[in-house]
Chains A and B, each alone.
Chain A
């Protein structure tokens, strides 16, 4: 059974650009969550999607957004990139009713 797949694995952008990251959950998982991991702030919750609807949102500015498609795949978008957005972005998926989340290997985003 394939795990959570995140693409791309690495990304380099410059300030002011925007970026879209993709996450394909484990087959049958309908909940997808996104986290940001940085050395200074650690792991922080961005948002969760379930059945194409945002169910929870963390304390991040509106530049961070996401969506989920009918096949449960999810994308997150960051607009007007700032140096501080450099981080490992992790996606996690789970079955409905389960809080045991399975994580992908992440997308490493570097802002120059």
Chain B
């Protein structure tokens, strides 16, 4: 069965600093990988996705993620964090044999210091 691990439950960074959120997955084949962001009281917004091809993917709001098969990782990065980036971030893996079923990691709550 597939699984996703986000090792960091909470991360605090200063505004303007760089950010990296970690994600490790377990899946038998090439996975579909996603990063979503959730602000309080709201649903999930898709930041970016990886299906195949170039292992560095660009997303919205200045985020990017790199797929590393050898490390089973799909870490999210942003070069300069803005106060509005404070939210909870979820990594997810999709089973390409099971329709649209997503398995999510536990999430990382990002706090931004002024």
* Interface members, chain A 92-110 (any B CB < 8 Å): 92, 94, 99-106
Interface: A43 (CB within 8 A): yes
Q: Which residue of A lies closest to B46 (CB)?
A: A100
Q: Which of B32, B42, B101 contacts A48 (CB 8 A)?
A: B101
- Cβ of A106 and Cβ of B104 under 8 Å apart? no
A4-B43 contact in complex given A42-B107, A99-B32, C-beta closer than 8 Å: yes
Does chain B have a CB within 8 A of A58?
Answer: yes
Q: Is B98's beta carbon under 8 Å from chain A?
A: yes
Chain A interface secondary structure, helix, strand, loop or mixed?
strand
Interface footprint category on A:
20 to 34
What residues of chain A lie closer than 8 Å to B98, measured between beta carbons? 56
Q: Is B53 in contact with chain A by the CB < 8 A criterion?
A: no
A90 in the interface (beta carbon within 8 A): yes
8 intermolecular pairs with C-beta atoms under 8 Å apart: A42-B105, A43-B90, A48-B99, A48-B101, A50-B99, A90-B44, A92-B100, A102-B46
| A31 proximal to B (CB < 8 A) | yes
Closest-CB distance, A86 to chain B (whole angstroms)? 16
Residues of B within 8 A of A48 (CB): 99-101
Residues of chain A lying within 8 A (CB to CB) of residue B32: 99
Q: How far is the CB of B43 from chain A (nearest CB, A)?
A: 4
Assess whether B90 is in contact with A103, with CB atoms less than 8 Å apart.
no
Q: How far is the CA of A33 from the CA of B106 in the complex (A)?
A: 19
